[in-house]
A and B are shown apart, each in its own frame.
Chain A
Amino acid sequence: MIEVVFFLVFFLFIFPFAISYVLASGKERLNIDLNYTRNPRYFSVSFREKLFKAIIKDSLLKGDSRIEVQMSKKELVKYGKFNDLTFNLYPNHIYVITNRAFRIKKGTAVKKEIYALYDLVIEDDCFIRAVACDGVCKIGNDVIIVRWIDAIKSLYIGSGCSLGIACSTEGILKLGKNNIFTRLYGHPIITYGFNEKEYKEFSTIIEKTIRENPVQLEGFEDKPVYVKGDIFSDDDIRLKNVIVEGTVFSFKNIYLENVIVGSPERRVSVIGERITFGRGVKIYGYIQANTKCGKVS
């Protein structure tokens, strides 16, 4: 019995080892992009770069309005000015729209990405995969964005929208009610009902970073609490009528109402598992919740 066990263990093992070695031959290394640097608008920036090179090289030089571009896979691109586009003619194409102002009609569904070189309006009830806009982008109500949306100048969003994985702009990002998001980036991001005010008095001034579990701060509408540092918590963070100079970070849930975070001089972040914004929130910088766990209530 023992002899059989030893034979099996020490001799027959050679075969699976030999096979596994042969199967594992060849090169395979995890690659690190040594030039990578974090950018909250990464998707759209990378998308624009790849598309732009191809447009200049193929479309503009060859005068062709349909080109092939190597993105993560090979994609077809339709380039030019459009009138009353329904996106039905070339459903599997990425559209690059060169109109000075373009309007995507109510209820339109677009399977692929859209890149507008100037201003763009997306009317109510549209279903769109991803949007890059180099001008001002206005989105109506109940629009669904599957992947990402980015506008260089500013981005205005109606109510009841689902904003995909990332929603970003270099300028102002204004959000209506009942929007669902994962990541937002804007300078600033403003929710409905925000009124610009200059506060002369504060109910409390906290000089340092707050590190507590949980954090609950509530000031008065005319006399908010002022936090000069960041706020970190392993538990929930709930802020009402508060101004925070720094980052707000929770490993659980964040609720903000009538709150200002960051300043024009300092980009900051609001990061939590679930984030809920009430009215009157203004954030300079970046917001991140777990997938679709961010909500403007």
Chain B
Amino acid sequence: MAMGGIMILVLKGYIISVSLLCILYALRHLIFAYDRFMGKQKIFYGDIIDDQLPTVSVLVPMHNEEKVASNILSLLSKTDYPKNKYEVIPINDHSEDKTKEIIDEFAKRYDFIKPLHRYGGKRGKPAGLNDALKIAQGEIVLIFDADYLPPKGIVRELAVNFKDPLVGAVMGRVIPVNADKNLLTKLLDLERCGGYQVNQQSRYNLNLIPQYGGTVGGFRRDIVLETGGFNENVLAEDTELTYRMYVSGYKVVYANRAECWEEAPENWNVRARQVKRWSRGHNQVMFKYFFKVLKSPHLTFFQKFDGLLLLMVYLIPFLLLLGLFDFLILFFLGDINFIAPVYVMLIPLLFSGFGNFAPFYEIAVGAVIDGLEKRVRLLPFLIFNFVFYSIYISLGFWQAILDSIKGKKEIHWDKTERFRDKGAAD
């Protein structure tokens, strides 16, 4: 009896703990939404006009990107950034299609395009970036994924943030170019809207932890090189860099006006692989930085608090799934009362509605600010994403656990499939 009683107590305690954690995330997102909608917006470095700008290297990692390579190189060649302070390094990473030929053609036309062709050594984005960092001349390194469509003014909009010597990294805003394609892309557009327009912006406003997202952003080259370059065995090199900056005493800045189009995944399989990869990488970073964040002398109490909640974002769905199993065990043990169904619904609803991946009031605020009046009506559909993400994030979490148990060093990079017709971008 005693053993069974303790067991039931633990199981019930677990459900209550997870519920409390969800409420904590809910409050966090409510504060963000309120701040973005009603609060005072912080000044942007992007407003600075100064003729003295830093030198910039733009890195574009590419692996079999013939569908999109010419679009991004063409747009990057039209930048308004002073050309004597600017270079573009397309990183051709073991491509087997026509990516190499496309890059070489652009390099012939523009002397600031300096290709890096990699057909040996370790594959993957971090390895490619590390090689490119060795030849990059710019004080500031900006990164765009190959499927992105950077506007003419975005290089200046991002680079000017680094006038402040305390800024270590900067992140711009990502907007899906194919938002109208299908239900998935529409939902991703909503998520991006809430995630950038509201979540990142209010974290910037409130002096918390804006995140560098690995593309449409950049960092100081010397800091990254001095701290060992990119970790080639971490899948979320962007999150790793974010936390590296913070624990080293630098700021990460969110530049809401530095908007750039991306191609969002158009089918659920591709999205599933992407989410699983992000979860695996993010959780690797969580294992590495949890205590470093707690102990960092450079972060304030609220920054540590936000930093830890952000680190745990890809852990929560796994904890929630455990909670559901926990509930089922209690159900079969006959130890639930009439409020149990409410528990069952409460946890996922809190998480899907107010939790970290689909906080609908953040999205609603973002959609109002952006004027997406039709799209916002899809908000109830985010509950599907909750179930979908919970499964794949949990799988990613398990892989991260296995990586850390096995001490796995070699991690295979799973490239996101492109959907654009070759060279077509309106």
Contact = CB atoms under 8 A, between A and B. Distances in A.
A272 B48 CA distance: 11
A21 B375 CA distance: 9
B341 interface: yes
17 contacts: A20-B381, A21-B183, A21-B381, A24-B377, A32-B151, A32-B175, A32-B259, A32-B260, A35-B152, A211-B164, A246-B50, A247-B163, A249-B164, A272-B43, A285-B50, A286-B49, A288-B47
A16 B377 CA distance: 10
Interface of B: 42-43, 45, 47-52, 75, 78, 80, 149, 151-153, 156-157, 163-166, 175-177, 179-180, 183, 186, 189, 193, 259-261, 338, 341, 345, 370, 372-381
A185 B48 CA distance: 12
Contacts of B153: 36-38
A272 B186 CA distance: 38
Contacts of B376: 24
A269 B156 CA distance: 15
A273 interface: yes
B175 A30 contact: yes
Interface in A1-22: 1-2, 5-6, 9, 13, 16-17, 20-21
Nearest to B384: A17
A293 to B, nearest CB: 11
A84 B345 CA distance: 74
Given A30-B372, A268-B51, 16 more contacts: A13-B380, A17-B381, A20-B378, A24-B186, A29-B179, A30-B370, A32-B149, A32-B175, A32-B259, A35-B152, A38-B156, A209-B165, A230-B50, A232-B165, A269-B49, A290-B43
A40 interface: yes
A267 interface: yes
A21 B184 CA distance: 12
A26 B45 CA distance: 36
Contact of A5 (B193, B341, B375, B381): B341
Counting chain A CB atoms within 10 Å of each CB, the highest count among B52, B80, B157, B373 belongs to B52
A156 to B, nearest CB: 22
B375 A33 contact: no
Contacts of A247: 48, 50, 163
- The B interface, classified by DSSP as helix, strand, loop or mixed, is mixed
Counting chain B CB atoms within 10 Å of each CB, the highest count among A9, A13, A26, A38 belongs to A38
Contacts of A5: 341, 345
B47 A269 contact: yes
Contact of A28 (B260, B338, B372): B372
Contacts of A24: 186, 374-378
Interface of A: 1-2, 5-6, 9, 13, 16-17, 20-21, 23-30, 32-38, 40, 185, 209, 211, 230, 232, 246-247, 249, 251, 265-269, 271-273, 285-286, 288, 290
A229 to B, nearest CB: 9
Contacts of B50: 230, 246-247, 266-269, 285
B277 to A, nearest CB: 26
Given A6-B341, A29-B180, A268-B50, A230 B377 contact: no
Q: Which 8 A-B pairs have the closest CB atoms?
A: A24-B377, A37-B153, A286-B49, A37-B80, A23-B377, A27-B180, A34-B151, A232-B164
A187 B272 CA distance: 54
Contact of B149 (A34, A35, A232, A272): A34
A176 B141 CA distance: 43
A180 B376 CA distance: 39
B97 to A, nearest CB: 26
Contacts of B151: 32-36
Contacts of B177: 29
B52 A271 contact: no
Nearest to A1: B338
Nearest to B257: A38
Counting chain A CB atoms within 10 Å of each CB, the highest count among B45, B51, B189 belongs to B51
Given A211-B165, A266-B52, A271 B374 contact: no
Contacts of A249: 43, 45, 48, 163-164
A37 B378 CA distance: 33
Nearest to A29: B179
Nearest to A265: B51
A37 B152 contact: yes
Contacts of A32: 149, 151, 175, 259-261
Nearest to A232: B164
Contact of A266 (B43, B51, B163): B51
